[in-house]
Structure 1
Amino acid sequence: MSAEDDAGNGRPFRFGVVGESARTMEQLTALAVRAEELGYSTLTLRDHFVTEPFGDQLAPMIALTAAALATRTLRVGTLVLANDHRHPVVLAKEAATLDHVSGGRFELGIGAGWLREEYGRAGIPFDAPGVRVGRLEESLRVLKNLLGGGTATFTGEHYQVRDLTVFPRPAQAPPLLVGAGSRRMLRIAGRHADIAGVLPRALPDGTISAEISERMPDTIARKVAHVREAAHEAGRDGVELSMLVSPTFGPDLRAAAARVAVLRGWGTSSTDLVLEMPSQFVGPPEHIAEQMAARRDRYGFTYYLVSDRDMEAFAPVVGLLAGRPAGRVSRPVPRS
């Protein structure tokens, strides 16, 4: 099954914010309220306890509870939790409680964990990639059972659970997002996730690949195909495709793309490549909206997230596309 065969599956666009600069509850709740006002679907938080490379972080599950209580319709989520930081039974309990408190507005994003330095400084064993990924897949099976309202009994290589249920019962079965960059991870997302967050692949040395090839159209199409094929084999459909993007605004597309190429260390000779990258959006808001509509039709991405630092500048794109089917770009609705 190709990306084009299932591109978007008729799903409307939605947009999220990654809370990267909030350091206090006051900052976070103000960010959540503003994101809701601007029409964003979700506020998400990362899951790190070292400063680099994303800055100091609030504990995501607790902080998201405060964000949910400060808003009415905004969904809250993790982007993404490191599976090795929490046992799935403990995480299921926390996720069910947060979903209950938020009235069914929680989305659980999880990944295998990748930041070697963080593991080392915390004294957590940084196992080989295959071990961490295998542990994640077992965790997903336990989480899906518990959060779906079932009784979990599971015996695996990494987890053993017997006759457990979760309380409180979630207001929904919280959608699962799996952040994935490698073939195996992408196929796990296709088999288990409601949302596949497509990423550059994590490297065995505990970093994320900076290779330009990881961001090119053929590579992204191949990653999407892995998700779709695994979902189809598992008898599933409708997996939502998500991507974290960094928009660059400006009237001159090539000049904006050249700035990206230089900033990322690829050099100005890569300007044309930047213009082709599915994860890069440059130009004025109207052009970016058109790019997103076209790329939804080609790849199937309908859920885009931006850093809170880009939230205000990106809001016109949200106004153009949020909730609208592919190819239909409307003028932004004025906001009071």
Structure 2
Amino acid sequence: MTERKPFKFGVVVRKADSGKEWAERARLIEASGFTTLLMPDHFVGPRFAPIAGLTAAAMATTTLRIGTLVFSNDYRHPVVLGKELATLDVVSDGRLDVGLGTGWMREDYDRAGLPFDPPKVRFDRFVEAVDVLRGVWSDGPFSYQGTYYQLDELVQEPKPVQKPFPKLLLPGGGPKMLALAGKVADYVNLTLQVRADGSGVRASDGGLESFLGKIETVRAAAGARFSRIDIGTSVQQVGVPAEKENWSAVNLDRQQETPQIVLGGPDEMADKLRYWRDTHGLNFFVLHNDKDLETFIPVVERLAGR
């Protein structure tokens, strides 16, 4: 038995047909008890750009947190991203959660003409980017001499409303990212590990044993701060079993014993999430597709904040 942290729920929203529809979607999510509206960050596919979309969602709501799952570090210099996000934190009255990852989807890089570096390079650059973001969000001039980023006495304003920084959400599939998340993240989203070539997830990953191992990797790295981390995963399928689009085209059958698949009626789904919270400490669950909102809202109503 582990400490019972209150349930929090996010939902990934990709696009709408109009500004009015986007605002109405955000208000429905807020009214239904979700904690956070999250957006992905890819060039390929029908998706809004995250900074503009999150700003519009913030303007349409009053309590709903906004964030990304996740910004791809390679698509923006962290100084540029840092200024955009500090501004967004101000205009949202401190409701921003910063989801950040290395960047992984090879098709994005290839179609945009960006170099796709080896995993170690992308990870090391990402670690530096986290340092830079926190540096430019801090008071006073900030200098940095890294392998990938160099800053000289930069004073960047505005500063975020949240102190010392907006909360950081990290996805974790492989051991290095999971360990880093345990040390520095406020939210951890457990994911499937991706292939080094950026073509999808590793066929060897998935299933209960792997999922439990990821929790323990975060726990070991976090130490005493584990109880302060909101840790969870993206829920790929809910309600009645059906063929649904998912981010990796992975065979979801291997995930049946994990909270990435939550089937049955509202009570059954709520019971499964309670088990994962009470037994393993997971409390932040993200609905992968807002097309499933109607099915999942009764679960959120039963559990949110409890």
Other structure's SS at 1:301 match: coil
8 Å Cα contact 1:19/1:28 also seen in 2: no
Q: Cα RMSD over matched residues? A: 2.1
8 Å Cα contact 2:137/2:160 also seen in 1: yes
TM-aligned CA deviation for residue 187 of structure 1: 1.1
Partner of 1:301: 282
The question of 1:320 aligning with 2:302 is answered yes
Partner Cα separation in structure 2 for residue 50 and residue 177 of structure 1 = 22
Partner of 1:330: none
Deviations 1:160-212 (A, max 9, x none): 1222233112110210101121111111111221111110011112133163x
Map 1:17-36 to 2 at 5 A.
17-36=11-30
Question: Percent of pairs identical after alignment?
Answer: 39
Other structure's SS at 2:231 match: strand
TM-score (norm 2): 0.91
The question of 1:102 aligning with 2:98 is answered no
2:263 aligned partner, one-letter code? V
8 Å Cα contact 2:50/2:68 also seen in 1: yes
Other structure's SS at 2:117 match: coil
**Unmatched tracts of structure 1, length 5 or more:** 251-255, 325-336
Partner Cα separation in structure 1 for residue 142 and residue 269 of structure 2 = 45
Shift in alpha-carbon separation, 1:194–1:286, aligned structure 2, 3 A: same
Partner of 1:279: 260
Partner Cα separation in structure 2 for residue 265 and residue 217 of structure 1 = 15
Other structure's SS at 2:261 match: coil
Map 1:64-213 to 2 at 5 A.
64-149=54-139, 151-172=141-162, 173-209=165-201, 211=203
8 Å Cα contact 1:191/1:230 also seen in 2: yes
Partner Cα separation in structure 2 for residue 47 and residue 265 of structure 1 = 20
8 Å Cα contact 1:23/1:57 also seen in 2: no
Other structure's SS at 1:134 match: helix
Structure 1 segments (4+ residues) deviating >6 Å: none
Deviations 1:98-150 (A, max 9, x none): 00000000111010001111101111110001100110011111112333446
1:313 aligned partner, one-letter code? T
TM-aligned CA deviation for residue 24 of structure 1: 3.4
Partner Cα separation in structure 2 for residue 298 and residue 126 of structure 1 = 39
1:19 aligned partner, one-letter code? V
Shift in alpha-carbon separation, 1:24–1:179, aligned structure 2, 3 A: farther
TM-aligned CA deviation for residue 266 of structure 1: 4.8
1:90 aligned partner, one-letter code? V
Shift in alpha-carbon separation, 1:248–1:158, aligned structure 2, 3 A: same
2:209 aligned partner, one-letter code? D
Shift in alpha-carbon separation, 1:23–1:125, aligned structure 2, 3 A: farther
Other structure's SS at 2:236 match: coil
**Unmatched tracts of structure 2, length 5 or more:** none
TM-aligned CA deviation for residue 247 of structure 1: 3.4
Partner Cα separation in structure 2 for residue 321 and residue 265 of structure 1 = 28
Partner of 2:269: 288
TM-score (norm 1): 0.83
Other structure's SS at 2:217 match: helix
Other structure's SS at 1:197 match: strand
Total equivalences in the alignment: 299
8 Å Cα contact 1:220/1:278 also seen in 2: no
Partner Cα separation in structure 1 for residue 286 and residue 134 of structure 2 = 24
Other structure's SS at 2:238 match: coil
Other structure's SS at 1:16 match: strand
Partner of 2:43: 49
8 Å Cα contact 1:15/1:318 also seen in 2: yes
Shift in alpha-carbon separation, 1:87–1:274, aligned structure 2, 3 A: closer
Shift in alpha-carbon separation, 1:220–1:150, aligned structure 2, 3 A: farther
Shift in alpha-carbon separation, 1:175–1:288, aligned structure 2, 3 A: same
The question of 1:218 aligning with 2:226 is answered no
Deviations 1:73-110 (A, max 9, x none): 11110110000011111111011000000000011101
